[in-house]
Each structure stands twice: as structure tokens, then as C-alpha cells.
Amino acid sequence: MIDIMETLFDICALPGPPGFEIPVAQRVRDLLEQQMDETWTDVLGNVLSVRRCGKDGARKLMFDAHIDETGLIITGIEEGFLRFAALGGTDARVLPASEVTILTEPPMYGVIGVMPPHALEKEESEKVVKIEDMFIDIGMQQEEAVNAVTPGTPAVLAHGARRFGDNKICGKALDDRAGFVAILRAVELLGDAALDVDLYVMASVQEEVGTRGATPGVYAIAPDCCVVVDVGHAKTPDSKPVETREELGGGVIISRGPNMNAVLTESMIKLACGCEIKHQINVEPGGNSGTNARAIQISREGVATALLSIPMRYMHGAHEVISIDDVENTARLLAETARIRD
């Protein structure tokens, strides 16, 4: 049986910023090969897998979760300090004084420098520092740093994931490796059950820089329907109640809106109710949910797409928080969806 927490510890420790996902993609491929009939990697780096039902003309159902994480890329070196830009939606507010891993060979430790409060005027101390004004301290002089790190080298926030409170997990890259583990667990829950569909899994890359991996991945497979699994914002004391209603531990989030196929979405809500799967309803009124659902829904002649989300606190930070119970409930709903008979 898959241990959700231990599997997340495993894959969240691996680096995988957009365009540089190879370490985590290799591990994800290993995990899929243990459960699926065939697994391969496409040109962009998406890991794709299929479990065939063995029936002629079977429809294709795809589950998707992205495996890249927000990160940094080195742009230059000044006096031994590394300048950098964001890879994806990296939150500038959480970067000062953060520890980072620079993906040299071997990887290198660094700290994002921050001016001590003693040296700042009050107005300056209350401002968010722009990423272009930050630097990474690697403890080297200019010549040494130039020889050690080249521009274009990626970096990620240091550390993986760890236990947190009651059956929760905290760390980097849970967006969206928690979604992938939910899919992996769903495949396990299906066991040897006979299916009426060929089940495809896509562990997609480059979601954080514009859903780039999902576009060619889904175009190649041409599924009849797809369930995208990502993360969603969970309530905190400072969140806006109108915009963030979902609770950590409140169950899988099912989204309604124009980016989702109404028939598929409502069937999943009905399944969640009938199978007593803990769930929450989210409303996405725009045509772009900010997930791979946007790219997948309008691929080729269109794909019937649904969006499930795992509630998360502190998204795109070094200390994202999720509940293992929400991952399990997401997996259960995915498994029940694959069992649907026409």
C-alpha cells in the first residue's frame, strides 16, 4: 500500500523547477511503472502512462497533475553574489533570508541575503523587496563564484517536506506533487478492477510557466475526458472570506465554472455524495482556472475536463501545508470516477 506521507517526503525532496524537472520526473516514472501497463516520457519531459482496459474502441480517461515547482534561475554574478529571476510564480515576499539549493553538480547551498533591520529606515523595512534587487550568498569571492556557477543554473527553495501537526505535511513542492500522489493512490485503489476506459496518467511539466507541458501532452493522447488535480487555497485567519471558503481537512475541492465540463463535474459531485467522500465546492467564474484545466479543455476539438483541488495553505512558499486526509479523499473520488460505467 502506498504511504502517502512517505511518498510525498520522497518526491518533494527532489528538485524540479520549470524546464528542469528531470530528477523528479525520473522518480515519478519509476512509481508509475510499478502500477501501469506502459510508461514513457515525451519531448517536453511530461511523464505519461496508460492502463489499458483491453476493450476495442474504449474511451480514454486522463488524470493530470503537474510535477514542476516554482523556482529561481541565476542571471549573473556580482562580487561573488548570485543575481536571479523567478521561474514561475515565486512569491517575493517569502524569499528574503530563505535557504536555497543551487542545482550545480554537485548541488550548492545558498542563502538569499537580506539587509538587517538596524540598517533600514522604517519605510524601507515595510516594503517587499523586488526579486531583481535580491541576491544569493554562497560564501564565495567573485572569481570562485564565477567558476562554480554559470548563468542559467536553476535553484529551488531548500528542504523537502515534513510532518506537521495532526496528519498534515509541510514543505516545498506540495504544489502539485500532492496531486500526483493522489492520482498514484487512486490507481492503487482501483487494484485489478475491470474498467471500461483506457486510463491515462500525465505527470506534466512546466505548469508554473503557463501550462506549457499539458498542451502537447494532452494533444498527443487526445483523451475523451480529463480530470486535472491541483491545489487550491485553504482558509487562514488573514484570507478573504469571499475568495477563500475551503477548509484544510475539509475534503477534496470540486470546482464549478466555465473552465470545467458541467456534465463531468456534476457526475463527480454526485459520486462524492453517494460514496460519502468528503468534499467542498469551489466556484471558478472565469474561463481560466490558473491550472492545466485551461490548456486541456481547449485542446484539439475540446476535452471534457473537470478540476479537483487539494486544499493548501501558503501556496508557492517554502512551507506549503496540506492534509493527508484531503489527498486520500481526492484519490477515492478519482478511483470512483474511473469505475463509472456508461
CA dist 216 to 219, 316, 324, Å?
A: 5, 25, 31
Question: At 203, is the secondary structure helix, strand, or coil?
Answer: strand
In this structure, are residues 200 and 341 in contact, taking their beta carbons and an 8 Å threshold?
Answer: no
Rounded CA gap, 149 and 247, in Å?
Answer: 42
Rounded CA gap, 185 and 308, in Å?
Answer: 15
Could you tell me which of 306, 223, 231 has the C-alpha nearest to residue 271? 306
DSSP labels, 123-183:
HHHTSPPPGGG--EE-S--HHHHHHH--TT-EEEES--EEEETTTEEEESSHHHHHHHHHH
Burial class (CB in 10 A: 0-12, 13-18, 19+), 238: exposed
Instruction: Give, as one character, the DSSP assignment of residue 313.
Output: B
Say whether 207 is catalytic: yes
DSSP labels, 35-103:
TSSEEEE-TT--EEEEE----TT-EEEEEEEE----EEEEEEEETTEEEEEEESS--GGG-TT-EEEE-
Provide the grid cell at 206. Answer: 512546466
**Catalytic residue chosen out of the listed positions 21, 69, 207, 284:** 207
CA atoms within 13 Å, Cβ hemisphere of 276: 0
In this structure, are residues 299 and 219 in contact, taking their beta carbons and an 8 Å threshold?
Answer: yes
In this structure, are residues 215 and 40 in contact, taking their beta carbons and an 8 Å threshold?
Answer: no
Q: How far apart are the first and last CA of the chain?
A: 30
Residues with catalytic function: 207
